[in-house]
Amino acid sequence: MTTRIVTIIDYGSGNLRSVQKAFERLGAQTQITDSPQVVAEAKRLVLPGVGSFGDAMQQLHARELVQPILSHLRADRPFFGICMGLQLLFETGWEGGHHSGLGVLDGDVARFELPAGMKIPHMGWNTVEWCQGDARKPSVGDGHYFYFVHSYYARPRDAAIVAATSDYGGSFCSAVSRGRLFATQFHPEKSQAVGMRLLQTFLD
C-alpha cells in the first residue's frame, strides 16, 4: 500500500506534536514544516493551531505560507483545518480588532455572546451533530463528544458548507466542508477513538 504522507504546517502555533502523533498512530507518514516549497508540494495538508487570529495570519504571511496554502486549496487537494485552522479560512476575524483571513470561505469569526453564567472560553467536551448528507456522518455518527477550546466561532454565510454543528449557549458551526477541504473547530487529535475515526476519513 502506498504510504500516505501528511504535511502539517508550522507557523509558530502549538499543538503540532499531538496532531503529528495522531496521524502516525493511523499509519501515516508525517512532516512538520514552515517551508513554502514543501507546503506547495503537499498531497495532504493540515493547518492546526491555537492562539489569536491576527497573530496567526501575521505568522503565515511572515513565513510566506499564504500563497502555497491558497494554491493547495484552489487545486482541491485534501486539506484538514483544526481549531484556528478552521477560523483562518474565513474572510474576517474580530479578535482584538479587524483582521483579514485567508478568505477561502465567506463569513467571519466572532466572539461568543453567551447567557449569564456561561464561561468563555468554551472548553471541554461537547457533542457534534453532522449535517444530513455529510460524507463523515456514516463513519462518525451523531452525538459523539469531541474536545473544544475556543472563545471565537465561525459564522459562514453559505449554509451549504456547514458540515456539523454544536451547542454552547446556542447552535454554532463546529465543522465545515467544501470539496476536499474539511475543517473542525474541535480537536479530533484530542478526542479519543471518535477523533481518530475522523482523522482516518481524511486519510482515506
- Residues annotated as catalytic (active site), given as ranges: 83, 187, 189
What does DSSP assign to residue 7?
E
C-alpha cell at 33: 514544516
Q: Which of 14, 64, 6 is nearest to 37 (CA)?
A: 64
Please state, in angstroms and rounded to a whole number, the distance separating the CA atoms of residues 105 and 89: 6
Exposure on the CB side of residue 195, measured as CA atoms within 13 A: 23
Cβ partners under 8 Å of residue 162, min gap 6: 131, 156, 173, 175, 176
Q: Which of 121, 175, 119 is nearest to 151 (CA)?
A: 121
Please state, in angstroms and rounded to a whole number, the distance separating the CA atoms of residues 199 and 168: 24
C-alpha cell at 92: 474576517
Q: Look at the block and give the residue holding cell 503540532.
A: 16
